[in-house]
Amino acid sequence: MAGRRITTAGLLTRRQQTHNSINGARHETSHHDAGRRCLIFFHDRYGGECPSRLSDSSIDYVIPFDPGGESDVTARFQEPILEDILDVSVNVVHRPGGGGAVAWSEFQNSAEPDGYEIIGVNIPHIIGQPIQRSDAGFDTDDWEIITFFHSTPNALIVPADSPFETLDDLVEYARDNPETVTLGGSGTYSANHLDMLRLEQEADVELTYIPFTGTGPLPGALEGGHVTGVFNYTMLGVQMDDSVRVLAVASEERVPALPDVPTFQEEGYDIVGGAYRGVAAPAGTPDEIVEVLADAFAEANERITDEQEPLGFVMEYISGDEIDDVIDMLAEAYGPILEEAE
Amino acid sequence: MILKLNTDIAAGCFGLLFCALLWFPQSDLGRLSIIFPRAILVITTLIAIALLIKGLFFSPEERQVEITGSPRRLLVVMAGFFIWWLLIDILGFAVTSFIAIYLLCWYLARVQGPVSTGQLLRWLPIISVIVGSFYLTFRHLLNVRLPAGLLF
Amino acid sequence: MEMLLQALASLMTFESVITVLVGVSAGLLIGSMPGLTATMALAVLLPFTFSMEALQGLIALGAVYMGSIYGGAFTAILINTPGTPSSIATTFDGYPMARQGKAFEALTAATLASVVGGLVGVAFLLILAPPLARLAVAFGPAEMFWVAMLGLTLVASLSSGSLLKGMLGGCIGMLLSTIGVSPVGGETRFTFGFPPLQGGIELIVALIGLFVIPELLTMAAEGKGALPREGDFGKREASIRQVARTVFGKPVNLVRSCLIGQIIAIIPGAGGNVTSLVAYNEARRFSKDPESFGKGNVEGIVASESSNNVMVAGSMIPLLTLGIPGAPPDAIILGVLLLHGLRPGLDLFTETGVLTNGFILSMGLAALMLLPVGLLGARLIHRIVIRTPYYFMVPCIAMVTILGTFSLRNSLLDVAIMLTLGCAGYFLRLIGIYAAPIVLGLILGGIAEQGYVQTMLAAVTDPFPWLRLLSNTLSKVLAAMVLLGVATALVPIWLQRSGRLDKASPDKRGEP
């Protein structure tokens, strides 16, 4: 009983509480109303006329991670531009916990589909966690993903003084010495971990993956020689330019910030993957609103490209049907590995 | 109020109960996830048992604990906090906090003598200002999505 | 050197000084509220820095950081509640002093110690950044495991009364830390099928619950405030000079605490949460009169507050040179650096040296600013706390704790956890299990687990995996320190115990 009480308490948001406590029927209609009003609002924004009664609403942009991380920094870039485009204030709200799962399960359970509540979503987290945990509390597709605005391809990075000059050196050594090559990365069954597992399969070697909490401790692990290398994102390779060597990146084409680094495909391993960051609205949000938001994020993306690309991000403009394609592609690539791990 | 209680035995029992609570849900976890919690569980259990043994056989003193003040007030305030939390969900933060602070003030002030109507009236604006300023600061300056119930 | 002067010049503008002043004051206010941490203060400030120039923005962040770490001492001393985790150790002697009517003395000592700590941290950052950064990366998984173990030896000195109960508290804290997603392995543990528990028990939530709620309940039950109405207000002017003499009269304690603060600050992941505890423990170990600690000894406050303010600038060393955030608030500063296109590394000290040095010096300015702002603020807050009737204090503090806990992660569940832990904490305190060891276990549990499991993973091909825990000099040194720490903590207790037993046995025989 106590448990149930806490569930509703933790999961309900402001608006839904109001509706629930009045009555269930009102709840249904108000969904609709809110949706329509918001629709008018966004369209008028683009048409140039603003209904005054909604001008005090604001968009809550939930970041399911701690402040200071890549998701947060990007959201801070986007915030003023979104405000400018949509003419509505945007609040970045943090709700960290469980590698994102806490915020995602709350969002899917209780957010209002009116376009005023959106949440940052990351692949592969939203694919991996529901498969791997029995009580993740959310589903991979129980929302309307608005867009994926950028990705950070995986990269295999070793210290500059490492004996491994190329990917082949490392693979050959690993073949002769199974499990002795230790690769650090961010999190378990994360993009890093999953693509490292793919490398093991593709190259038929045995490596040892050591998960760290986030990207933060990895530079130290590299500099201090506590791991053979790290399987992390391109950003780290760019950031630690002077002291590391990036052996390969897991993108289809070479990454602009690292022009000399070959892709895994060039080296003969079919590994394309990394983390995709995007935003989602609750399931049932009208398509028109999702489109307006997707356009706004695309516009924001263009305006922040100059700041983000040098950091190692790859800008993406994935929206509409392409979203399903991307999710399907990655779910197919990672699914078997995850199932096997179960 | 002074309770007759052997604190060693009480602490030992608490430790054992706590371990039992966490012992059962650990069955289907992988080795990497459980290796550390299991080690600590074992250590905790050993410490708890040591405390029990010490309490039963070796510590003739320490047989009492003292709750200073009124135990009834303690329990009422404790319950008050939880009711406060429950109501935040229904009435919203601002309204609940106003009511809760007002009632708790009245309840706690009675210790020092009867509370006059004048005093109660004087609290009204003070508490409104306190709750209001915190509400506005957090809601609008710090952008915290405070739970809003029927009114705010 | 030229860069330093240039940086100093860019700092000496009216605008910069005002920014520092406002930043320190705001940080102080936020830091003194239980639940509002330095991390949160910086996150709130972040959007405002966008409209500023890079240097101005960094100055503001540095000042807020400095102010909020210091602000934690206020509530630690006045209501036994560490405003930020880094001031836990300040409560041990600060609160007893406040109860003896020496609150102002305690606050002044904390202020002076903080100023010294802040300045020392800045000096280290300016002079010794590169060698200290090399030391920072030497701490790998095995070393982190030993650091956590070293921290756990503090349990012995934190458990007033029974060592067994202190150890039980520490273990309970470590078990609480395992709730949620496991750091290595990624599975959810002990969530009892309840998704929101995947987030685990946040340190601050437990901290507020275990420290504040029992205090409020005690005040309510006793029907009176905890502090005496009359402080030594009349003698205030003389008091500052006297306090200064006490603080600076024992320079060894100050120097030792600053050094400890600096070394721990550069260990990534340990952060400021343990610095003050370690410094406190050492101050007590080396004191001629260890018995007086925990009963209102100024030295305890000095150790705790000087070490945690060293951490502010000290943890910037791995951040600025390597991009490793040493403490959670540093992650936000890293974000700001990246936003402005500044990449951590040696370039930061050469190409953009004026900016970087300006930022570093501004933290020194912020530390100096703590003196007037802090002394004024201390007087004000002290007066408010003493003059407010207890029946107002209890519900108002309760509201602030509920607000602070909620806004940490926008979670009502956290509030429930806080209240539950708080009420449990009250009864646990009655039976001799205190909050400090539990919180210590909670802080160190995660560090110990990650270090241990990562080491075991890396050693998967070794014949004796656990030998990897002692594979290099640093880990051996740390392990030896753990042994030494355990020995110096246990031997006196054991001697005392055997002495007491001798005395106790004839009494027992005489009893019936």
Those residues with Cβ within 8 angstroms of residue A174's Cβ, 6 or more apart along the chain or in another chain: A180, A181, A203, A205, A206, A207
Grouping H, G, I as helix, E, B as strand and the rest as coil, residue A146 is strand
Look at A134 and C413 and tell me if their CB atoms are within 8 Å.
Answer: no
C-alpha–C-alpha distance, residues C63 and C61, integer Å: 5
| pLDDT, chain B, mean | 86
C-alpha–C-alpha distance, residues C377 and C383, integer Å: 10
Question: Is residue B146 one of the residues assigned to a domain?
Answer: no
Q: What is the pLDDT of residue A27?
A: 37
Q: Which of B66, B92, B114 is the last residue of a domain?
A: B66
Q: How far is B148 from chain C (nearest CA, A)?
A: 12
Look at C394 and B34 and tell me if their CB atoms are within 8 Å.
Answer: no
Where is pLDDT greater, at A8 or C247? C247
Look at C198 and A137 and tell me if their CB atoms are within 8 Å.
Answer: yes
Q: How many CB pairs under 8 A join B and C?
A: 185
Q: What is the pLDDT of residue C271?
A: 61
- Overall number of domains in chain B: 2
Q: How far is B37 from chain A (nearest CA, A)?
A: 18
**Chain segment B34-48, per-residue pLDDT in tens:** 889 999 999 999 999
Q: What is the pLDDT of residue C256?
A: 93
Q: Are residues B15 and B75 in the same domain?
A: no
Q: What is the pLDDT of residue A327?
A: 87
In the structure, what pLDDT confidence band is assigned to residue A209 with cuts at 50, 70 and 90?
A: very high
Nearest alpha-carbon partner for A11 in B87, C411, C194, B97: C411
Nearest to B40 among C174, C391, C394 (CB): C174
Look at B148 and A18 and tell me if their CB atoms are within 8 Å.
Answer: yes
C22: left (phi over 0), alpha (psi -120 to 50) or beta: alpha
Query: Does residue B57 register a pLDDT over 90?
Result: no
Q: Which residues of B touch A13 (CB under 8 A)?
A: 145
Q: Which residue of C has its CA nearest to B103?
A: C395
Q: What is the pLDDT of residue C324?
A: 79
Write down all domains in chain A, each with its CATH number in brackets.
2-50+58-148+277-341 (3.40.190.150), 152-274 (3.40.190.10)
Look at C402 and B97 and tell me if their CB atoms are within 8 Å.
Answer: yes
Q: What is the pLDDT of residue A307?
A: 82
Where is pLDDT greater, at C416 or B1? C416
Given CB atoms, is A91 within the 8 Å cutoff of chain B?
yes
Q: What is the pLDDT of residue A16?
A: 36
Query: Does residue A22 register a pLDDT over 60?
Result: no
Q: Are residues B81 and B112 in the same domain?
A: yes
Interface test with A, best of C45, C197, C336 (most A CBs within 10 A): C197
Q: Are residues B42 and B88 in the same domain?
A: no
Q: Which residues of C touch A181 (CB under 8 A)?
A: none
Question: Is residue B152 one of the residues assigned to a domain?
Answer: no
Q: Which residues of A touch C318 (CB under 8 A)?
A: 220
Look at B81 and C431 and tell me if their CB atoms are within 8 Å.
Answer: no
**Chain segment C104-140, per-residue pLDDT in tens:** 889 999 999 999 999 999 999 988 888 888 888 888 8
**Which residues of chain C carry a pLDDT beneath 70?**
1, 160, 229-238, 269-272, 497, 499-512
Nearest alpha-carbon partner for C67 in C31, C18, C15: C31
- Domain ranges (residues) in chain C: 2-225+236-503
Q: Are residues B80 and B136 in the same domain?
A: yes
Q: What is the pLDDT of residue A19?
A: 37
Q: Which of B31, B66, B101 is the last residue of a domain?
A: B66
High-pLDDT (> 90) share of chain B, %: 41
Q: What is the pLDDT of residue A38?
A: 45
Nearest to B89 among C186, C412, C419 (CB): C412
Nearest alpha-carbon partner for C159 in C508, C493, C509, C496: C493
Q: Are residues B61 and B13 in the same domain?
A: yes
Give the max Cα distance, chain A: 71
**Chain segment A145-182, per-residue pLDDT in tens:** 999 999 989 999 999 999 999 999 999 999 999 989 99
H helices of C194-270, in order, are 203-222, 236-249, 251-265
Identify the residue whose tokens are 């939930």.
A62
Q: What is the pLDDT of residue A21?
A: 35
Q: How far is C179 from chain B (nearest CA, A)?
A: 9
Q: Six-digit token pair at A162? A: 């490492």
Query: Does residue A39 register a pLDDT over 60?
Result: no
The pTM assigned to this predicted structure is: 0.85
Look at A67 and C199 and tell me if their CB atoms are within 8 Å.
Answer: no
Q: What is the pLDDT of residue B152?
A: 59
Q: Which residues of C touch B6 (CB under 8 A)?
A: none
What is the DSSP-derived secondary structure letter of residue B112?
A: G
Nearest to A9 among C318, C324, C413 (CB): C413
- Burial code (b: 16+ CB inside 10 Å, e: under 16) for C471-491 equals eeebbeebbeebeebeeebee
Given CB atoms, is A4 within the 8 Å cutoff of chain B?
no
Torsion of CA C382, C386, C387, C393, to 10 degrees: 100
Domain hosting B90: range is 71-141
Question: Is residue B29 one of the residues assigned to a domain?
Answer: yes
Q: Which residues of B touch C399 (CB under 8 A)?
A: 97, 100-101, 130-131, 134
High-pLDDT (> 70) share of chain B, %: 93
Where is pLDDT greater, at C343 or A300? A300
Query: Does residue A10 register a pLDDT over 80?
Result: no
Where is pLDDT greater, at A11 or C35? C35
Q: Are residues B61 and B82 in the same domain?
A: no
Q: What is the pLDDT of residue C462?
A: 82
Question: Is residue B120 one of the residues assigned to a domain?
Answer: yes
ipTM of the complex: 0.93
Q: Are residues B14 and B51 in the same domain?
A: yes
What is the DSSP-derived secondary structure letter of residue A166?
A: S
Q: How far is B46 from chain A (nearest CA, A)?
A: 30
**Chain segment A225-265, per-residue pLDDT in tens:** 899 999 999 988 888 888 899 999 999 889 888 999 999 99
Chains contacting A (3+ CB pairs below 8 angstroms): B, C
Q: What is the pLDDT of residue A295?
A: 92
Q: Which residues of C touch B97 (CB under 8 A)?
A: 399, 402
Residues counted in chain C: 512
Angle between helices A321-341 and A191-203 (to 10 degrees): 70
Q: What is the pLDDT of residue C265?
A: 86
Q: Are residues B58 and B104 in the same domain?
A: no
Q: What is the pLDDT of residue C124?
A: 92
Tell me the DSSP string of A59-89.
EEEEESS-TTSHHHHHHHHHHHHHHHHH-SE
C-alpha–C-alpha distance, residues C278 and C259, integer Å: 11
Q: What is the pLDDT of residue C167?
A: 92
C-alpha–C-alpha distance, residues C15 and C64, integer Å: 16
Q: What is the pLDDT of residue C135?
A: 84
**Chain segment B3-56, per-residue pLDDT in tens:** 777 888 889 999 999 999 888 776 677 788 888 999 999 999 999 999 999 888
Three-state SS string over B15-60 comes to: HHHHHHHHHHHHCCCCHHHHHHHHHHHHHHHHHHHHHHHHHHHHCC
Q: Which residues of A touch B86 (CB under 8 A)?
A: 5, 9
Helices (H) and strands (E) in chain C, counts: 22, 2
Look at C187 and B37 and tell me if their CB atoms are within 8 Å.
Answer: no
